[in-house]
């Protein structure tokens, strides 16, 4: 009897299995609008228990990459409604990932009037793709004022209401991988001297205020968060107090009664290993559901579920390349390999044309 493929509950949500499709940015949302192609892509993968969308910006200021979707306009809500309808018709539940890119971005990717924001005016090392001029160095963000912080928190809360209006079962706050929320947590990107910088209590304040605002807007039973302790993506170096800082976050998130914490482990992609002790801390301190991700195949997923290390397993690249991943893993069928050259390119190629064996 497989745990991975058996029905489960996530809070009050009934899931058809314990396999979650990880959030994956695919850059098909021309004009930052969810479209029919995206409805088809997600619909093809709706045999998952839960689908988490690609990173979606709650604000024009958060659109650091080209062709990523938003959830702040009426047209975006209408576009996402079509997506959630298609996915729900096939039985999966669906959360939307709120990704405010913060300092990861470039003015060329932002709509008119939007601003590149960060906790401090410190640019991330590295380059970012722009449709207009190709690769460019990440821009230098404007350090957010208290008024910017307040306005951004309000954007998250409004976006959460928009998400519910668009038919999502909940929202996942992207607190991982070097985007705005993590930029506040980490001392390298957060060099503030006010109550949002310095001690971990201060560096965690923005994230926890976003959590509180989103909880108030839609209810804590609809809110999860993704975190990447020990993650280094987007110029986020490891530092001494990492484990202590994330232990504090686990305690604070537990006190707020969120639905789930989703931990990223990108060591299968060459990133530093996330110590087992860190995952165990989240498992023991946080009483809500725990989702683990990173490099899973069916056997490892089953074994971590059986060991009680987590409640659900999230899978990225295998889902990207196999619309019918659940059926393939159930029957130990061969899987398609992902084609990296079409991960972020516009159009249907490498997006909705991976073959299924079961349909």
Ligand X SMILES: Cc1cc2nc3c(=O)[nH]c(=O)nc-3n(C[C@H](O)[C@H](O)[C@H](O)COP(=O)(O)O)c2cc1C
Residues forming the site for ligand X (CB under 6 A):
22-25, 54-55, 97, 99, 174, 176-177, 226, 264, 266, 268, 293-296, 315-317, 343
* Cα(229)–Cα(226) distance, integer angstroms: 10
Which lies closer to ligand X via its Cβ, residue 206 or residue 296? Answer: 296
Show the CA angle centred on residue 106, arms to residues 82 and 223, nearest 5°: 45
Answer for the pair 123, 141: CB distance below 8 angstroms, yes or no: yes
Which lies closer to ligand X via its Cβ, residue 227 or residue 285? Answer: 227
Which lies closer to ligand X via its Cβ, residue 51 or residue 197? Answer: 51
CB 195, min distance to ligand X, A: 28
Is 196 a catalytic site residue?
A: no
* Cα(309)–Cα(312) distance, integer angstroms: 9
Answer for the pair 204, 185: CB distance below 8 angstroms, yes or no: yes
Residues with Cβ within 8 Å of 353's Cβ and at least 6 positions away in sequence, in order, are: none
- 191 in helix, strand or coil? coil
3-state secondary structure 193-240: CCCCCCCHHHHCHHHHHHHHHHHHHHCHHHEEEEECCCCCCCCCCCCC
Residue of 41, 179, 260, 354 with catalytic role: 179
Which residue is closest to ligand X by CB? 316
Which lies closer to ligand X via its Cβ, residue 205 or residue 226? Answer: 226
- Report DSSP letters for 265-322, one per residue: --GGGTSPPPPHHHHHHHHHH--SEEEEESS--HHHHHHHHHTTS-SEEEE-HHHHH-
DSSP state, residue 36: H
CB 189, min distance to ligand X, A: 17
Which lies closer to ligand X via its Cβ, residue 226 or residue 279? Answer: 226
Which lies closer to ligand X via its Cβ, residue 23 or residue 119? Answer: 23
Residues with Cβ within 8 Å of 255's Cβ and at least 6 positions away in sequence, in order, are: none
CB 51, min distance to ligand X, A: 12
Answer for the pair 119, 192: CB distance below 8 angstroms, yes or no: yes
* Cα(287)–Cα(293) distance, integer angstroms: 18
CB 244, min distance to ligand X, A: 24
Show the CA angle centred on residue 287, arms to residues 284 and 293, nearest 5°: 75
Answer for the pair 42, 86: CB distance below 8 angstroms, yes or no: yes
> Residues with catalytic annotation?
179
């Amino acid at each position: 009897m497989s745990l991975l493929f058996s029905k489960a509950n996530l809070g009050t949500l009934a899931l058809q299995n314990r396999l979650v499709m990880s959030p994956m940015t695919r850059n098909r949302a021309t004009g930052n609008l969810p479209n029919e192609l995206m409805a088809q892509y997600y619909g093809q993968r709706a045999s998952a228990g839960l689908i988490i969308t690609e990173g979606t910006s709650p604000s024009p200021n958060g659109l650091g990459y080209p062709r990523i979707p938003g959830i702040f306009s009426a047209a975006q809500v209408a576009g996402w409604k079509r997506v959630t309808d298609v996915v729900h018709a096939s039985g999966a539940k669906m959360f939307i990932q709120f990704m405010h890119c913060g300092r990861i971005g470039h003015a060329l990717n932002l709509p008119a009037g939007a601003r590149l924001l960060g906790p401090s005016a410190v640019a991330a090392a590295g380059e970012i793709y722009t449709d207009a001029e190709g690769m460019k160095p990440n821009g230098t963000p404007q350090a957010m004022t208290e008024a910017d912080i307040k306005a951004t928190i309000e954007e998250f809360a409004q976006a959460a209401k928009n998400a519910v209006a668009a038919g999502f079962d909940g929202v996942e706050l992207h607190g991982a991988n070097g985007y705005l929320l993590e930029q506040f947590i980490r001392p390298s990107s957060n060099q503030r001297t006010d109550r949002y910088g310095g001690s971990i209590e201060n560096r965690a304040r923005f994230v926890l205020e976003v959590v509180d605002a989103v909880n108030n807007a839609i209810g804590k039973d609809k809110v999860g968060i993704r975190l990447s302790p020990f993650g280094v993506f987007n110029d986020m170096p490891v530092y001494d107090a990492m484990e202590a800082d994330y232990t504090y976050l686990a305690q604070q998130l537990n006190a707020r009664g969120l639905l789930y914490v989703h931990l990223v482990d990108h060591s299968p992609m060459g990133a530093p290993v996330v110590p087992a002790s860190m995952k165990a801390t989240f498992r023991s301190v946080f009483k809500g559901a725990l989702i683990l991700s990173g490099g899973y195949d069916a056997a490892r997923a089953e074994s971590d579920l059986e060991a009680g290390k987590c409640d659900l397993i999230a899978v990225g690249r295998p889902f990207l390349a196999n619309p019918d991943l659940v059926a393939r893993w159930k029957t130990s069928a061969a899987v398609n390999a992902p084609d990296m050259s079409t991960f972020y390119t516009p159009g249907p190629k490498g997006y909705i044309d991976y073959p299924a064996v079961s349909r």
